[in-house]
């Protein structure tokens, strides 16, 4: 869908005007709209663009009212809300926003297959955007983009048999190149993490186990020696025979 359709309510009759697709400035856009109006017999509406505010004003003779309906696709371009029907007051209708003939300001290279999950601020969501290319050339110029800053995107695909490429404008719609050829070069860098083989030998693994076994055997041997030669819990003073002998007393 192109942004070149203007829908007008004039004398309670709805007119749909399809403007010629192309690049416009303020003057030739007004000329195009007035010419389309004239083809339908509407010759009492004049259009001017303010040099101060940049807003367009539609004025109908005899202060008769008319409306620009919300169903037109050109509303955003000429300064109206895209989802609002705008009705004149005493035959005068001024757009609330400036005329916007800048067109697309950037191109977004996207893919359904290559999963990047990059964040797109224009839709405030994560999309598979590979790159964003600014349009720095004028109408009918050549758009050249070179990734000088070496910006890359991480692709989350675990396997890939093929992929698609799509180019969107900053309005979220697919770009119609109007039979103009284009080319692009992509670089896919595959990085793998290689785990280093262990240098630990089997002897290194069982050494702590053998050391623990030796320690346990030593403790067991010491316990057996203690059980074979128990120490008397009585001292010489508690032994009656020794006590009597030492005190030289006889019964």
The residues that bridge with 27 in the sheet, in sequence order, are none
Model confidence over 27-51: pLDDT tens digits? 999 999 999 999 999 999 999 999 9
Q: Which long-range contacts (CB under 8 A, 24 or more apart) does 235-240 make?
A: none
- The tally of domains found in the chain comes to 1
Is 22 within a domain?
A: yes
Is 36 within a domain?
A: yes
Cα Rg of the chain, angstroms? 45
Distance (Å, rounded) from C-alpha 212 to C-alpha 233?
33
The pLDDT of residue 225 is 66
**Residue position matching structure tokens 């030796």:** 214
The pLDDT of residue 230 is 57
Is 59 within a domain?
A: yes
Distance (Å, rounded) from C-alpha 144 to C-alpha 17?
35
| Model pTM above 0.75 | no
Is 212 within a domain?
A: no
Is 14 within a domain?
A: yes
Q: How high is the mean pLDDT of the chain?
A: 86
Model confidence over 73-125: pLDDT tens digits? 999 999 999 999 999 999 999 999 999 999 889 999 999 898 887 888 777 77
> Do 113 and 160 contact (CB within 8 A), yes or no?
yes
Is 16 within a domain?
A: yes
> Do 35 and 41 contact (CB within 8 A), yes or no?
no
Is 163 within a domain?
A: no
* Domain hosting residue 53, numbered range: 5-94
Is 74 within a domain?
A: yes
Q: Hey, what are 162's tokens?
A: 């093929």
């Amino acid at each position: 869908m192109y942004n070149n359709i203007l829908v007008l309510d004039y004398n309670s009759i709805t007119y749909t005007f399809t403007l010629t697709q192309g690049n416009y400035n303020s003057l030739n856009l007004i000329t195009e709209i007035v010419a389309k109006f004239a083809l339908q017999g509407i010759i009492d509406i004049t259009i001017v663009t303010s040099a101060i505010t940049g807003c367009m004003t539609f004025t109908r003779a005899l202060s008769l009212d008319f409306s620009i309906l919300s169903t037109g696709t050109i509303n955003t371009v000429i300064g109206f809300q895209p989802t609002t029907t705008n009705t004149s007051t005493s035959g005068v209708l001024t757009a609330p926003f400036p005329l916007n003939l800048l067109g697309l300001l950037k191109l977004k290279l996207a893919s359904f297959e290559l999963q990047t999950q990059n964040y797109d601020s224009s839709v405030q969501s994560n999309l598979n955007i590979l790159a964003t290319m600014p349009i720095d050339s004028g109408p009918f110029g050549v758009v050249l983009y070179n990734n000088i800053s070496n910006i890359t995107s991480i692709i989350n695909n675990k396997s890939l048999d093929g992929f698609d490429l799509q180019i969107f404008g900053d309005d979220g719609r697919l770009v119609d190149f109007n039979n103009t050829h284009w080319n692009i070069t992509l670089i896919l860098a595959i990085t793998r993490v290689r785990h280093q083989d262990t240098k630990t030998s089997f002897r290194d693994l069982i050494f702590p186990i053998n050391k623990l076994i030796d320690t346990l055997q030593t403790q067991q041997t010491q316990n057996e020696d203690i059980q074979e030669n128990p120490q008397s819990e009585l001292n010489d003073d508690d032994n009656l025979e020794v006590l009597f002998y030492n005190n030289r007393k006889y019964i």
